[in-house]
């Protein structure tokens, strides 16, 4: 299967009508050129890594450039809780309470449960699925704070990703910021380790994956560009710095038809504030990456999917 993929990639991928022929005619170069077209149409900076979990093949652009996590860090935070629970280091079903002082913007779960509290597992699920900000901060407090999550990444071989602050301060990540950042290359592989590797036992992997599948905030992003019969889950992030830039993020996994190896992806789009409303453009840009993921997985179809959009 992997040999066939390489052969097909060599002869069938196209850039679309009117596009310049890239100097790199390799399969990776052709797909990277597709991503550059998407970046140009979005009038921003696009960082992407698409990773084949079976072969280790990958394609991307700006793959080693740092981008802010925004809420996408909550995926790894949920994984950290499940890992520590499986190791007997913490009880994920322990119930905790919180106070009004813990409440910040976007609290659909924690506001509703103020009076009764919730288990750490419920908070992790809410942080992943609804992106509840107080839930993330409460979990961080229980798991060693930002340093605890950064140490978790280091323990699984991610030497790049880091978290330095809590919500909402961690969203203040201009292009020159080093704190609270990762790279597409690092995060695509971290997603692969957490969903398909041995960092978590099978039951915890399945639970985390089910939470990603139930996350609806990404339905208009990468998942919107994937075929309807694919199975995909993700975690999104969105942040805006008034007068500077807006960040749209989507990390996750995509599983094509039976027999194809699972793929993971990490996409970061830093947009310039020249549009009246950045949200539709950010979502459209990331949805176009979904079409490149399909080309990467199914090169034998030979469809210039992205080129048709321009």
> What are the catalytic residues?
71, 167
Place of tokens 């080693």: 64
* CA separation for the pair 180, 67 (Å, rounded): 8
Beta-carbon count within 10 A of 43 CB:
12
Structure tokens at 235: 């975690």
* CA separation for the pair 12, 301 (Å, rounded): 8
Helix (H) or strand (E) holding 202: helix 202-214
Is residue 282 exposed (0-12), middle (13-18) or buried (19+ Cβ within 10 Å)? Answer: buried
Written as one string, the DSSP assignment of 233-264 is EEEEEEEEETTTEEEEEEEEEEE-STTSPPEE
* CA separation for the pair 159, 115 (Å, rounded): 40
* CA separation for the pair 104, 295 (Å, rounded): 41
């Amino acid at each position: 299967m992997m040999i066939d993929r390489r052969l097909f990639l060599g002869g069938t991928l196209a850039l679309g009508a009117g596009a310049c022929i890239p100097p790199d005619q390799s399969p990776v170069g052709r797909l990277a050129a597709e991503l550059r077209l998407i970046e140009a149409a979005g009038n921003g900076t696009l960082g992407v890594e698409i990773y084949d979990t079976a072969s280790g093949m990958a394609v991307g652009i700006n793959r080693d450039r740092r981008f802010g996590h925004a809420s996408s860090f909550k995926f790894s935070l949920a994984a950290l809780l499940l890992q520590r629970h499986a190791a007997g280091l913490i009880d994920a079903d322990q119930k905790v309470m919180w106070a009004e002082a813990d409440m910040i913007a976007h609290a659909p779960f924690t506001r509703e449960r103020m009076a009764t509290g919730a288990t750490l597992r419920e908070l992790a699920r809410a942080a992943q699925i609804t992106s509840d900000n107080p839930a993330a901060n409460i979990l961080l407090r229980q798991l060693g704070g930002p340093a605890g999550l950064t140490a978790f990444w280091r323990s699984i071989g991610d030497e790049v990703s880091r978290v330095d602050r809590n919500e909402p301060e961690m969203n203040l990540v201009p292009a020159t910021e080093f704190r609270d950042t990762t790279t597409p290359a690092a995060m695509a592989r971290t997603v692969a380790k957490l969903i398909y590797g041995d960092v978590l036992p099978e039951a915890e992997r399945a639970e985390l994956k089910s939470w990603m599948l139930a996350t609806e905030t990404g339905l208009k992003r990468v998942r919107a560009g994937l075929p309807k019969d694919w199975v995909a889950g993700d975690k999104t992030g969105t942040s805006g710095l008034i007068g500077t830039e807006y960040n749209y993020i989507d990390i996750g996994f995509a599983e094509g038809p039976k027999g194809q190896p699972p793929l993971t992806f990490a996409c970061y789009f830093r947009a310039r504030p020249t549009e009246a409303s950045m949200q539709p453009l950010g979502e459209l840009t990331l949805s176009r990456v979904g079409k490149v993921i399909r080309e990467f997985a199914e090169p034998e179809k030979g469809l210039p999917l992205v080129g048709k959009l321009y």
